[in-house]
Amino acid sequence: MSYLEHLCVKPGTKVDLSKVDAGYKGEHESHEHAAAEIEEAKRTLGALQFLMYAENKRALLIVLQGRDAAGKDGTINHVLGAMNPQGCTVTGFKVPSKEEAGHDFLWRYHKAAPATGQVAIFNRSHYEDVLVVRVHGLVPRDVWSKRYDHINAFEHMLVENDIHILKFYLHIDPDEQLRRFRARIDDPTRHWKISDGDYAERPYWDDYTAAFEDAIGKCSTRHAPWFIIPSNHKWFRNLAVSKIVAEHVQSLGMKFPPPSVDIEEIKKKYHALADAGMHGER
C-alpha cells in the first residue's frame, strides 16, 4: 500500500491520535536505509513541479499543521529543496494583523492561494481558526464550531478552480517534542526559535489533541484529504510527504504544452546561425 493510501484520513473517519504511532517508519529501518528513496522522491518532485509550471493549467496547495517543533519548517525546506523557487510560494500564518482581523477569517488565506502553475505551502493555515481559537476560547463555541463547514466550502471552491489541496498533520508525541525543545536550547544557532509560548502551550496538549482530531475528521474530504504523518523520525516525515505529493501530482496526467512556434523553422534558423558562426571563426 502506498503512503498516499496508508496515511490518508478517509472522509467520515473519527480520528483518534492516540492510536497513531508517531514513531512509525514504514518498511525502512533507518535514514540510511531510506536515503536512496528519499532522493528519488525529491527528484520526482522537482520534475513534476517543472511540468506543472510549464503546463500552467492547475495549482497545488500544501497545508502543514502540527504542534510546536513538529517539523513544519523542516518539511518546507525538504519539499522546496526539490523545486524551483520561481514556481513556489510559502506563507506562514501567525496572529492576524489589524487589517486581517478586520475581514472574515478566511480572507488572508484566500489571498495566499496559489496562482495557476504554482505550488503554495501554508505553514499553519485556516485551521488555526478551529485550533488555537478553540483551545484558548478566543471566540465563542457557536462561532468556531461553524467554521468546519466554511472551511470545507472554501476548499471545495479552490478545487473547483483547479487548485489541488493536500493537508498534512505532522504527528509527534510529547516526549519527542521535549527532546526537540532541548535540542534548541543546546544549539546556539537555534535559540532564535525558542519562545515562552512553546512551553506555555504544553499544559493544553490534550485540548489541542481534541481540536486536531475534530478538525482532521470533519475536514478530510475526497477533494481535500488530510494525511497524518508520523513525524518523530524527521527522515520518515520527509519521505512520506514527498511520496504523497509526488503520487498525487503524477495522477493528474499533466502534459507539456505544444510549442507556440514552428520548431522546424527554428531549427533551420539555428543551423544557419551556427554555420555562419563557424565560418566566421575561420
Domain residue ranges of the chain, discontinuous segments joined by +: 3-281
Could you tell me the three cell numbers for 88? 513556489
Residue 214: left if φ>0, alpha if ψ -120 to 50, beta else—which one?
A: alpha
Under 8 Å between Cβ of 23 and 231: no
Low-confidence winner among 77-81, 118-122, 266-270 (lowest mean pLDDT):
266-270
Is pLDDT above 50 for 282? Answer: no
Could you tell me the three cell numbers for 102? 478586520
- 219-245: average pLDDT: 97
pLDDT number for residue 278: 63
pLDDT cut 90: percent of the chain above it: 81
Is pLDDT above 70 for 281? Answer: no
114 secondary structure, DSSP code:
P
Read off the pTM. 0.93
pLDDT band of 273, cuts 50, 70, 90: confident
Question: The dihedral of CA 62, 199, 239, 6: what is its sign?
Answer: negative
Mind listing the pLDDT tens digit for each residue in 104-140? 999 999 999 999 999 999 999 999 999 999 999 999 9
pLDDT number for residue 49: 96
Domain 3-281: state its class: alpha beta
Is pLDDT above 80 for 197? Answer: no
What is the separation of C-alpha 60 from the centre of its chain, rounded to a whole number of angstroms?
Answer: 9
Quote the CA–CA distance of 235 and 250 in Å, as a whole number: 22
- 206-223: average pLDDT: 98
